[in-house]
Amino acid sequence: MAPRDDWRMAYEGSPRRDGDSATMSGVPLEPVYGPPAGGEPDERIGWPGSFPYTRGPYASMYRSKLWSMRMFAGFGTALDTNQRFRDILAAGGTGLSTAFDLPTLMGRDSDDPLAEGEVGKCGVAIDTLADMEDLFAGIDLGDVTTSMTINSPAAVVFAMYIAAAEASGVPRAKLGGTLQNDILKEYQAQNEYVFPPRPSMRLVRDTVQFTSAEMPRWHPISISGYHIREAGSTAAQELAFTLANGFAYVELAIAAGLAVDDFAPRLSFFFNAHIDFFEEIAKYRAARRIWATWMRDRYGSTNPRSQQLRFHTQTAGVSLTAQQPEVNIARTAIEALAGVLGGTQSLHTNSMDEALALPTERTARIALRTQQVIAHETGVANVADPLGGSWFVEELTDEMERRATEVFDRLLDLGDGSMLEGVHAGIDSGWFQGEIADASYELERRVGAGRRIVVGVNAFEDGNDEDQIDILRITAEQEQSQIKRLGAAKADRDSEAVAAVLAQVRSTAADPEANLMPILIDAVRTYATVGEVMSALAEEFGLHTERPVL
């Protein structure tokens, strides 16, 4: 059977969504385009839904199902964010993404002295199971998928999510969503870590094992290039470092005794959509091809779902400017379109005011409407991989792959053939951090010298004095409200039960073969706090201090 026929059968077997398969002028459209006269594309390009998935993981792509419009939200208390979640769903959002405040991301409680002034500022404050229950009150967690952007305390917060869902009558096996849980990039770029790398990887291992056994709809790791790019990397570095981390997690799970095809289908990725339009599209296409090839040839995967890299995209926060913030709507639209033309499965569009503050309800709605215009008005969803075969895009895709391969070779040398050990060595030596810092410095030099134009920053500055827009402000009263909520939860709980279960957390952490997830779920059900559970783990795991890079 010819490859074109293989693709046609895959397409005909794909689900459909209602939609017009013609241009606005009535020109009929094929579901996918390739070489003329029945020819076949180069095997490195292929067809959508076919190995190596350069053109997309699914044969019919958005003709069968649009990407999830998953808006990132979180601020103030759980009650504040619950209302925003309801607004997003009412406005047509199809998934929820939870942003946590800095104390929660660092595994600290809202009443911790080091949390002062940060509670609820960059996301929602979550201290106990009571907060998680309020966060999703009135939302059917069996129906709505949820993404949680959290890393070092990910297992603890995940335990709260499971416990809250089960308390509302939704069994864990029905829960669908994604836990970011990508601790490696924290040491490389974002610096929101608590424990040293290796015990942190133990927690990642435990969540992968737990979800593989009990939560078939859950994605236990979202391997994130987004924060690597936000820290200043190039597109090629984002691609290479992210996939290297992905391969490290695969090797971690295999070493724990899991068969690759038992867990790899539920690994997902999270990429940045930056402002260089075609470079971003090429990055996504190269990522799919690299992942498919390595999963098949290096790790022995035979399940196509293990080879089909699926990813969420968020438009670039660092591309937004405080000057002339309305211009950010244009930037976001261009970046979102790159994500769609690159084949994303899920998309968040940043709001125009995010260089100044958390988004208001109005600006978040405009950001969502941007996705809806792309989906329903532009026609780009009517054809799978409409840029496939472009001489420019295909050459740029090849170049992204070449640059990523150079990084992989270096890391394999550092790890004596192991990507897991190579990534650890790159973190321990500061290599990743140094590469990102150098790239960031070079970009700032170009902007400062005027060799890279940023509208409103180093050119076209007329209108900069008109930047008066309403922004969302998190008040000191909201912080005090959260601290009072925490105090009430502590007062109402059984303190002896909390102390007993925290002792069990410590003893379980001391056994490197034990899975921590069951005891973490037991712990949060006593209303033990995030900070208390993290402190119990730290007694066994220790705390991490980054070595300066000289």
* pLDDT of the chain, 550 residues: tens digit per residue: 355 666 677 777 777 776 678 888 889 999 999 998 778 899 999 999 999 999 999 999 999 999 988 877 889 999 999 998 998 889 887 778 899 999 999 999 999 999 999 999 989 999 999 999 999 999 999 998 999 999 999 999 999 999 999 999 999 999 999 999 999 999 999 999 999 999 999 999 999 999 999 999 999 999 999 999 999 999 999 999 999 999 999 999 999 999 999 999 999 999 999 999 999 999 999 999 999 999 999 999 999 999 999 999 999 999 999 999 999 999 999 999 999 999 999 999 999 999 998 888 899 899 999 999 999 999 999 999 999 999 999 999 999 999 999 999 999 999 999 999 999 999 999 999 999 999 999 999 999 999 999 999 999 999 888 767 888 888 889 999 999 999 999 999 999 999 999 999 999 999 999 999 999 999 999 999 999 999 999 999 999 988 776 6
Position 485 in a domain: no
Which residues are registered as beta bridge partners of 346? 68, 312
Nearest one of 219, 334, 208 to 280, comparing CA atoms: 334
* pTM value > 0.85: yes
Position 13 in a domain: no
If one counts every other C-beta atom within 10 angstroms of the C-beta of residue 416, the result is 9
Position 215 in a domain: yes
pLDDT, position 23:
87
Q: What are the φ and ψ backbone dihedral angles of 324, each rounded to 5 degrees?
A: 45, 60
Position 474 in a domain: no
Q: What are the φ and ψ backbone dihedral angles of 436, each rounded to 5 degrees?
A: -65, -40
In the sheet that holds 68-73, the strands lie side by side as 218-219, 177-179, 146-149, 95-99, 68-73, 346-348, 311-315, 267-273, 221-224
Q: Are 109 and 486 in contact (CB under 8 A)?
A: yes
Maximal C-alpha separation, the chain:
76
Which amino acid is it at 10? A
Q: Are 282 and 400 in contact (CB under 8 A)?
A: yes
335 DSSP 8-state letter: H
Position 530 in a domain: no
- DSSP H helical ranges for 136-276: 154-167, 184-185, 197-214, 226-230, 235-255, 260-263
Nearest one of 549, 550, 434, 538 to 196, comparing CA atoms: 538
Q: Are 285 and 42 in contact (CB under 8 A)?
A: no
Distance in angstroms (rounded) separating the CA atoms of residues 119 and 109: 9
- For the record, the structure tokens of 397 come out as 């895709």
319 DSSP 8-state letter: G
pLDDT, position 550:
62
Q: How many CA atoms lie within 13 A of 280 on its CB side?
A: 25
Distance in angstroms (rounded) separating the CA atoms of residues 452 and 327: 17
- CB-count exposure of residue 79 (10 Å: 0-12, 13-18, 19+): middle
Position 3 in a domain: no
Position 261 in a domain: yes
Tally of domains within the chain:
1
Distance in angstroms (rounded) separating the CA atoms of residues 478 and 125: 10
Domain harbouring 440, CATH code: 3.20.20.240
Packing angle of the helix pair 530-541, 154-167 (nearest 10 deg): 140
pLDDT, position 21:
81
pLDDT, position 1:
39
Domain interval for residue 114: 61-448
Q: Are 457 and 321 in contact (CB under 8 A)?
A: yes
pLDDT, position 13:
73
Position 124 in a domain: yes
